[in-house]
Amino acid sequence: MRVKYGTFRQAGLSNLKMKTVAISMLLAFVAAAALNAAQAPLIVIKADFVETDFIPGQDAAPTVLNEGTIYIAPSGRHRIERTARGVRTVEIIDAQHDEHIILDLDKKSARKGSMRIPMIPNVKITPSGQAPILFANQSSRDLGRKQFGPLTLHGLAVVGPHPGGAGSVSSELWGFEVPGQPVPVLIERRIAAPDEVQDQHLVNVETIQAPPSLFEIPADFTEVTVGR
């Protein structure tokens, strides 16, 4: 039997087209799967806090400075939202990648720079097994651990002289340690001096689902890199 060459050629082209379509569909499937994985909700710790200030001899009770929420991703990357006098601020911190982002919600801009842990000057909380970073005439002691809902916090107490010479300043810093992160996520702090007491404490902790985008710069924000 004689078969025309053109028939073979047509069949070959048809098979090639089918293979091309199959490869394209496979690549589209892989891309869609990767996108879905990137957009899959994270199990996030949501910790609500209140920050107060009290001046002995002047205030009858502590004054609320701000209220806020700390969202902690499984990686340790976290987002801090604060509201003070009706103004909302947002920070995103990633100690593992030395990243600190400040979002300006009104201007839709993001300042991205090196990490900064918001706490009192000259005091830095460190993970268990590492010596705290102290300055002249400061002393510290380990406070052990305490539980607040799903959070296990590790505490550090630091005592040093008052900058103005009015006695001493004592601080309690409580952090949530995340494996792989060089420093804990600062959760609670209390700074007590004879002339002023500042306190940041938890009021509620729960576990929620949140999109990964919660810990990233929004797509419609303008990004500015500083101090790196």
User: What average pLDDT does the structure give for the chain?
Assistant: 79
Q: What is the DSSP secondary structure assignment for residue 61, as one 8-state letter? A: S
The arithmetic mean of pLDDT across residues 47-70, rounded, is: 93
Sequence spans of domains, the chain: 1-40, 42-225
Model confidence band, residue 34 (pLDDT cutoffs 50, 70, 90): very low
Model confidence band, residue 206 (pLDDT cutoffs 50, 70, 90): very high
Q: What is the DSSP secondary structure assignment for residue 140, as one 8-state letter? A: E
Give the dihedral of Cα atoms 145, 193, 121, 99; nearest 10 deg.
40
Return the SS3 of 63.
strand
Task: Specify the CATH number of the domain 42-225.
Answer: 2.50.20
Return the SS3 of 139.
strand
Largest CA distance in the chain: 111
Give the dihedral of Cα atoms 120, 125, 131, 134; nearest 10 deg.
0
Q: What percent of the chain is modeled with pLDDT above 90?
A: 43
Model confidence band, residue 202 (pLDDT cutoffs 50, 70, 90): very high
0.75 cut: is pTM over it?
no
